[in-house]
Amino acid sequence: MKKAKRFFLLLGALCVIVLLYLLFWPVPISPQAWTPLPAPPLSGPYEQNSKLAGVERLVLVPSGEGFAPEDVALDAENRIYAGLDDGRIMRLQADGTRPEVFADTQGRPLGLIFDSAGNLIVADAIKGLLSIARDGSVTVLTTSADGVSFGCTNDLDVAADGTIYFTDASSKFPLSNFTADILEHGPNGRLLAYDPKSKSTRTILSHLSFANGVAVSPDQSFVLVVETGEYRVHRVWRKQGPPQLVAVQSPTWTGVLKYGQSEIFIDNLPGFPDGITSKGEAGFWLALVTPRDKTLDKLLPHPFLRKVVLRLPKFLQPAPKRYSFVLGLDQSGQVTENLQNGSPDCYAQIANAVERGGSLYFGSIGEATVGRYRLPAQP
């Protein structure tokens, strides 16, 4: 009887300790209340389908020796490049064979894009904005802007004039703790621009909740930036100096551009938007790394509950689900293509989609390979 009583006393004390931990243990986030719009159903323009069932997996390294090639870049010879979580950037031949190490950033390469000189420009979550020459030598371009160091350099694109537009997902949390940034829902992200001539870096758009993918429009009139934390994409009209109205005629748009200002390009997406890339005059490819999480949406209006969630073990916290989801958007942000696959063996958690030669090349945070999907022939 005494043993049973002692057991229940210990169990009660343990429950009190766990409760106090969940309620009061210090956490690094300062959550801000935000009530998202109801998630759109997977119907209509987002109708569920299995179009991505035939994704081919291109092997970068032997199993277990590298993971999460988040982005893909192709050079003038159509060779395929992707960065791994151990810092290596791998290169495949155009047919997807003969993997080799192209470079090692000693960090975490995420966004990749080639500039006009053939240098591979890299957004490295740890090292900052990098340039890698043809021989694999690495040069650091910038690590801070306006007195604030980058915490998670994420994605990028290069404009025709050489300007490199890129994102710092969070100046507060590193990539290894991206869940904390999502749960905080703070304005920690920025869209930035690096001028290779003056070697200067400036902030284009700030106060973003996990700034992510970047794409410059084909006519160079605007740049798109993904705000993952708020399920949307912004459009920023390109021009230095104060905002001004200028009448413009381009192949894709005619009217008055609000140079220097931003607006919402597409909002209330059905998943977490990640990378975005231009596909020429036809528009853009937007990768949704995972569908919306109903539990997280319910937590976002309640800052205190999000602190409690961050104190839980990792396996009890919201996490990306295995799913394939890529959207095609036109120049005005309307959905034109809807590619999905929810099967257990899908090429999951697509972070970027790059079009070249009739195929889409996928980077992923949930796979160890690069995905390749043959687009249906267009009339």
pLDDT digits over 360-369, tens only?
A: 999 999 999 9
Q: Is residue 252 part of a domain?
A: yes
The span from the CA of 134 to the CA of 10, in Å, is 64
Q: Which residues contact 226 (CB under 8 A, 6 or more apart)?
A: 155, 167, 211, 212, 213, 214, 232, 233, 234, 273, 274, 275, 276, 286
186, 32 in Cβ contact below 8 A?
A: yes
Residue-by-residue DSSP string for 117-184: TS-EEEEETTTEEEEE-TT--EEEEESEETTEE-S-EEEEEE-TTS-EEEEES-SSS-GGGHHHHHHH
Q: What is the mean pLDDT of residues 297-323?
A: 91
Q: Which helix (H) or strand (E) holds 18?
A: helix 2-24
Q: What is the mean pLDDT of residues 34-57?
A: 96
The pLDDT tens digits of the residues spanning 220-270 come to 999 999 999 999 999 999 864 444 444 444 434 444 445 568 999 999 999
Q: What is the CATH number of the domain that holds 47?
A: 2.120.10.30
What range defines the domain where residue 190 resides? 2-374
Q: Is residue 379 part of a domain?
A: no
Q: How far is CA 234 from CA 181, 213, 223, 263, 358, in A?
A: 19, 10, 8, 6, 27
| 3-state SS class at 257 | strand
318, 295 in Cβ contact below 8 A?
A: yes
Domain count, the chain: 1
For residue 4, pLDDT over 60 is answered with yes
Q: What is the mean pLDDT of residues 166-180?
A: 94
Q: Is residue 92 part of a domain?
A: yes
pTM of the model: 0.92
For residue 115, pLDDT over 50 is answered with yes
Confidence of residue 10 (pLDDT cuts 50, 70, 90): confident
Task: Quote the mean pLDDT of the chain.
Answer: 91
Q: What is the mean pLDDT of residues 55-69?
A: 93
Predicted pLDDT of residue 260: 66
72, 356 in Cβ contact below 8 A?
A: no
114, 89 in Cβ contact below 8 A?
A: no
Position 214, amino acid:
V
Confidence of residue 1 (pLDDT cuts 50, 70, 90): low
Of 331, 237, 231, the C-alpha closest to 279 is: 331
| 3-state SS class at 228 | helix
> How is the beta sheet containing 80-83 ordered, strand by strand?
72-74, 80-83, 88-92, 100-104
For residue 6, pLDDT over 90 is answered with no
336, 330 in Cβ contact below 8 A?
A: yes
Which two tokens mark 227? 């705000």
Confidence of residue 377 (pLDDT cuts 50, 70, 90): confident
Predicted pLDDT of residue 222: 95
Confidence of residue 379 (pLDDT cuts 50, 70, 90): low
Instruction: Identify which of 203-207, 236-240, 316-320 has the greatest average pLDDT.
Output: 203-207
Predicted pLDDT of residue 8: 62
Task: Write down the residue that tokens 């001028």 correspond to.
Answer: 195
For residue 378, pLDDT over 70 is answered with no
In this structure, the chain runs to a length of: 379
The span from the CA of 194 to the CA of 163, in Å, is 6
Q: Is residue 199 part of a domain?
A: yes
Q: What is the mean pLDDT of residues 10-30?
A: 76
Q: What is the mean pLDDT of residues 100-121?
A: 98
Q: What is the mean pLDDT of residues 330-351?
A: 97
Predicted pLDDT of residue 254: 41
